[in-house]
């Protein structure tokens, strides 16, 4: 069975391709390489022994997407990762974000319908919850208005899936709401490729320890949390990748309970920024040079997942201990500098 993985040379996509191939699925990747490079295919091949088929194309071009599906008539399911994802950039370039993220999804869905491809797994985000009133967040927690155009594309894409599922009864659509994906494959053959100065905590931290950045800024120690720093649910990228394999299997085996479903994918544990720094130091023996600065605009105070639904329905659970995840992130950073 062939799976189309859009955005498959990206961070989460590449780890998912590895898990899919190791589970016996054939993969074709479609990516325009706007935030990744074709060298990732070598990394995937080193781990799995199989180089996935690769189609370089922009998914906002509907005709190109149609031709892609025509070239691969045996696609049985799609995992749609392709999107622009920089929160700050989306505030500066809202049209680019809406155009890229919405059109890509709509083109993929239109071609799926034309070709009779039934199953799709979509990358959503816990950003749809905003600052929830009650923690941890369950799938029943109300979504809040998005803080950024990027966040809004996730809410809007979820709405598109819900509306399409209502009329396309033969289609099975499933959104995974990721919490904070971090880490890298333990082989250090693939990992996150941050472009320029990282915005996210872990790449900034590992680059600081590597001497590329002078000091990590901890954004705020005056939150209403035990140590004052903000809390997130950090999920290992390989655990996250495995969630896609079980989601695909659920759809293909017809075990879904509705033709649009959504699941929280996190560990169920919240960690503060300061706790994460300490865990990194324990895991690697390295010292993190950091200073406390003011809060970052737009950040929420705390969020972590209730993962009961994914545990029960998908039979999936996060397994990698945080120290191992952080050790792999460090190993990947060192590999990037070789």
Under rule CB under 6 A, residue 111 binds ligand NAD: no
- Which listed range, 33-41, 141-149, 255-263, 284-292, lies at the site for ligand NAD (CB under 6 A)? 33-41
Residue number, 189 or 310, with CB nearest to ligand UFG: 310
Binding-site member from 178, 260, 262, 330 for ligand UFG (CB under 6 A): 178
CA–CA gap between residue 179 and residue 243 (Å, rounded)? 12
Cβ atoms of residues 333 and 207 within 8 Å? yes
State yes or no: is 150 an active-site residue.
Answer: yes
Q: Which of 150, 178, 260, 262 is catalytic?
A: 150
Please name the helix (run of DSSP H) or strand (run of DSSP E) that holds residue 155, with its range, or none. helix 149-167
- Mask: binding to ligand NAD, 259-288, rule CB under 6 A, as x and -? ------------------------------
Picking from 79, 82, 81, the residue whose alpha carbon sits closest to that of residue 117 is 79
Residue number, 103 or 228, with CB nearest to ligand NAD: 103
Residue number, 81 or 304, with CB nearest to ligand NAD: 81
Under rule CB under 6 A, residue 31 binds ligand NAD: yes
CA–CA gap between residue 190 and residue 188 (Å, rounded)? 5
Q: Which of residues 93-132 bind ligand UFG (CB under 6 A)?
A: 125-127
Under rule CB under 6 A, residue 330 binds ligand UFG: no
Q: Which of residues 43-102 bind ligand UFG (CB under 6 A)?
A: 85, 87
Q: Is 305 helix (H, G, I), strand (E, B) or coil?
A: strand
Picking from 26, 23, 54, the residue whose alpha carbon sits closest to that of residue 39 is 54
Which residue intervals of 168-236 are DSSP H helices? 201-209
Distances in Å between the Cα of 82 and the Cα atoms of 59, 104, 179, 336 are: 8, 8, 17, 23
Q: Which sign, positive or negative, has the C-alpha torsion 247, 252, 253, 254?
A: positive
Please count the other Cβ atoms lying within 10 Å of the Cβ belonging to residue 311: 15
Provide the β-strand partners of residue 177. 124, 264
Under rule CB under 6 A, residue 18 binds ligand UFG: no
205 Cβ contact list (under 8 Å, min separation 6):
216, 276, 277, 280, 288
Q: How far is the CB of 299 from ligand UFG (least distance, A)?
A: 5
Under rule CB under 6 A, how many of the chain's residues touch ligand NAD?
Answer: 27
CA–CA gap between residue 64 and residue 143 (Å, rounded)? 34
- Mask: binding to ligand NAD, 56-95, rule CB under 6 A, as x and -? --xxx--------------------xxxxx----------
User: What does R_g of the chain's alpha carbons equal in angstroms?
Assistant: 19
Residue number, 107 or 225, with CB nearest to ligand NAD: 107
Under rule CB under 6 A, residue 181 binds ligand NAD: yes
Which residues sit at the interface with ligand UFG, rule CB under 6 A?
Answer: 85, 87, 125-127, 178-180, 199-201, 204, 216-219, 230, 232, 273, 296, 299
Active site residues: 150
Which residues sit at the interface with ligand NAD, rule CB under 6 A?
Answer: 7, 9-13, 31-36, 58-60, 81-85, 100, 104, 123, 125, 178, 180-181
């Amino acid at each position: 069975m062939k799976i189309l993985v859009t955005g498959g040379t990206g961070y989460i996509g590449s780890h998912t391709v590895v898990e899919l191939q190791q589970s016996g699925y054939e993969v074709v990747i479609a990516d325009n390489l706007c935030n990744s490079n074709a060298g990732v295919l070598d990394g995937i091949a080193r781990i799995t022994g199989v180089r996935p088929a690769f189609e370089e194309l922009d998914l906002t071009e509907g005709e190109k997407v149609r031709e892609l599906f025509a070239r691969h008539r045996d696609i049985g399911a799609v995992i749609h990762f392709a999107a622009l994802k920089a929160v700050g950039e989306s505030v500066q370039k809202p049209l680019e974000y809406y155009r890229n993220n919405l059109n890509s999804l709509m083109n993929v869905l239109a071609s799926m319908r034309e070709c009779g491809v039934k199953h799709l797994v979509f990358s959503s985000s816990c950003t749809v919850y905003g600052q929830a009133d009650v923690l941890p967040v369950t799938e029943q927690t109300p979504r809040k208005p998005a803080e950024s155009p990027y966040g809004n594309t996730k809410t809007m894409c979820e709405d598109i899936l819900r509306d399409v599922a209502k009329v396309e009864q033969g289609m099975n659509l499933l959104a995974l709401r990721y919490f904070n994906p971090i880490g890298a494959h333990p082989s250090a053959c693939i990992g996150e490729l941050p472009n320029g100065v990282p915005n996210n905590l872990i790449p900034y931290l590992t680059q600081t320890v590597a001497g590329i950045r002078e000091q990590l800024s901890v954004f705020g120690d005056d939150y209403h949390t035990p140590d004052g720093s903000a809390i997130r649910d950090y999920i290992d990228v390989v655990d996250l990748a495995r969630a896609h394999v079980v989601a695909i299997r659920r759809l293909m085996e017809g075990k879904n309970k509705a033709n649009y479903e959504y699941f929280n994918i996190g560990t169920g544990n919240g960690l503060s920024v300061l706790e994460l720094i300490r865990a990194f130091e324990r895991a690697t023996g390295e010292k993190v040079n950091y200073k406390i600065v003011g809060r970052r605009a737009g950040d929420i105070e705390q969020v972590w997942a209730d993962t009961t639904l994914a545990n029960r329905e998908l039979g999936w659970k996060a397994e990698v201990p945080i120290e191992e995840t952080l050790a792999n992130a460090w190993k990947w950073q060192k590999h990037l500098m070789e």
